[in-house]
Every structure is written in structure tokens, then in C-alpha cells.
Amino acid sequence: MSSSFAHGLVIGKFYPPHSGHHFLIRSAADACARVTVVVMAAGRESIPLRERVAWIREHWADEPHVAVVGITDDLPVDYDSEAAWAGHVALMREALAAAPPAPDVDAVFSSESYGTELARRFDAAPVLLDLGRDTFAVSGTKVRADPAAHWEEIEPPVRAWLARRVVVLGAESTGTTTLSRDLATALRARGGPHALIRWVPEYGRELTVAKLASARALAPPDEPLPTVSDLEWNDTDFELVARRQNQSEQRAARAGGPVLVCDTDALATTVWQERYRGRATDPVREAAAAMPPRALYLLTSDEGVPFDDDGLRDGEHVRPWMTARFRDVLTDAGVPWLELHGDRPTRLARALGAVEQLLADGWELADPLG
């Protein structure tokens, strides 16, 4: 369609961005030669400004005439105050000045009643859409109150940020993979958005399979085939494991449901590197530090669990040390964690109860300034 306006303005907190916000931006993009989206976030709010800007930029990356900029706005909201209006509009103009050069704003697109007054202050046309939320029955308030109930209204990067990440870790042959798989399956049975819940496998096991296959392919034909005990592990291997684990986790979080179940993570890799190399290197520690927040760690105890040598394990003798080391690392990290004992059904019941409590407690996102 031909452009009705030279430069459309869309402002909002986008806390977080949802389908209603994108409807507003899309309407502006289809009616304007240029669009500037100004994200205005207060410092007290739980989702950082840079994240919101990045999410909206990603969504509109294929629309070069849509620019997204952000600015911190800690001014009080008071629609009856001239000083408050002047302060907010000044910040909007400051953000516009940081955007790519564009004609003066001649249209303000809004789904709020204040859109008319805001347009007047820009000497622009007010384009008011969906004030009653009849087209998209969603709002930032609703999403913050219950993200899971509005999961279909938010985009993959927002889902990844909001997903409650539950990590199962433990020494070799203590049931970590079994528990993490069982937990993901049980959570999917809740249905709705939870049916999307993903399980992230352990990359270290995948690498072990690959290293063992390579070692056997290179073995002289007149010698016994190497076993997992013959493999040599170097720091580069663990740095690769940490990087691949983070990548797999992030891909799954973007595609998954409100909970993400992980069979180990980069923090666990620091302990595995200690076990094989004597210490964790900076790249592995940095990969662990770069991980999104964890909602819960579940440590599978080695006590009372027989060692099952499946051909890829060689650490029965160090299981007590590793369990103790995981306890220390989790405690030092200051993260929520539970140690699980007992048989398979007992462990699953306790893990499931802990995750159900996480969901019942909600996301606890701070209220916006206003």
C-alpha cells in the first residue's frame, strides 16, 4: 500500500513486547514511509531496556524502514501534569534524535487514550487502534501477571528470557538424564503452553561418543579398540562443551514452553573440568557466568545408586567427591537447589513438586513505574 504518512511514532514500555505491540508497529509500518519505535523503560523494572530493544529489533529486522531505539524514563506518570508531559516528551525527542535521520513525526500510533494528546504535542495525526483490546486481548500487565497463560502472545526471544530454567546435575550414573527426561515428560502432561516444554540433552555425552568413535577409527587394526578410559581430555574439549551446551539451551528456550528442563549446564561443566583437568579454565567459567538465571538446580545424589557402566562412563570411584563438589559449587553460587535421594518415582515426585511451586509462585516481575 502507499504510505499515508512520512514518519510514524510508536512509544511504549513494551514490558514485555507482545502480539498487541507488534500489531501497533505493523499498522504503523504499513502506513508510514518511516517508523520509529521508542522503548521507554524505568530502571526499577525487571526486564532491562536493552533486552526489550533487542527483541523488537529482531522481530522487525526485515523491515528497514522501522527503527527501534530505547531510552530510560524514570519520570513519574501523571496525565494531569504539564511538567510530567513535558518531561516525557523531551525524552521521546531525545530518543528520536538518536535514531536514523527521518522527517518530522507526522503520525502517532497508539493503543492508549493518551495517544491523542501525545500526537498534539508532536503536531501529528493521532492514529488510535484497538483501544478496547478487541483485536488483541492482551496487555503487558496480563503477560507480567501470568506469562504462561499468554505464551502464544509473545515471541521466541521473550519466551527464552521468561522460561524458568531447571537444571538437573550430578555425578556419573546417578540418574540425571533419567530424572530430567521424566520431569520434562511430566510437565508436558499439564497441556496448554506446557506441552511445548523442551528437554536439553547433555552435550558432553555426545562429545564422548564422537571422541570414542574417532579414537577407534584411528586405532591400528592389530590392537584392541580403545575404551572410554583411553580417551584424552583437554581444556579445549570442556570449553567446547560449555559453549555448545549454552547454544543448545538457548535454542530450546526460544522454541519451548514456560519451563526448560536441562540435563546439566555450563556450571556443571566447571566441575567436570575440575574432575578431568584439575581446575576450571576462564572460558568455561565465563560461559557459566553468561548463562541466563536458573530457577532451580536439582542435584541427583550418588548415595544408594548402583553404578551402571554403559561403555561411556569411567568415574565410579569419584562419584562421592563429585556430589560433594556440586554441593559446594551450588552453595557458593547462591542459587536455589535441592538434593534428591531415593528411587526413581520418589525423586520425580519431589522434583515435580518443586517445579509446580515455582509456577505457583509466578514470575514476580516488578510493577512498572507509573
Q: Give strand pairing partners of 35.
A: 8, 66
Look over the chain and give the mean of its residue pLDDT values, rounded to a whole number. 96
Average of pLDDT values for 136-158?
96
Q: What is the pLDDT of residues 270-322, one digit of tens each?
A: 999 999 999 999 999 999 999 999 999 999 999 989 888 887 677 788 999 99
Q: Are 167 and 338 in contact (CB under 8 A)?
A: no
Q: Are 341 and 303 in contact (CB under 8 A)?
A: yes
Q: Are 94 and 71 in contact (CB under 8 A)?
A: yes
Q: Are 99 and 108 in contact (CB under 8 A)?
A: no
Q: Which domains does the chain have, with CATH numbers?
A: 5-141 (3.40.50.620), 163-361 (3.40.50.300)
Q: Are 102 and 36 in contact (CB under 8 A)?
A: yes
- Phi and psi based region of residue 63 (left: phi greater than 0; alpha: psi -120 to 50; beta: remaining): beta
Q: What is the pLDDT of residues 227-279, one digit of tens each?
A: 999 999 999 999 999 999 999 999 999 999 999 999 999 999 999 999 999 99
| Residue 335 identity (one-letter amino acid) | V
3-state secondary structure of 60: coil
Which is it for the CA torsion 78, 83, 86, 89, positive or negative?
Answer: negative
- Residue 1: per-residue pLDDT: 56
Cell numbers standing for residue 298? 536439582
* pTM for this model (two decimals): 0.94
Contacts of residue 48, defined as CB under 8 A and 6 or more positions apart, other chains included, come to 41
Considering only CA atoms, give the Rg of the chain.
26
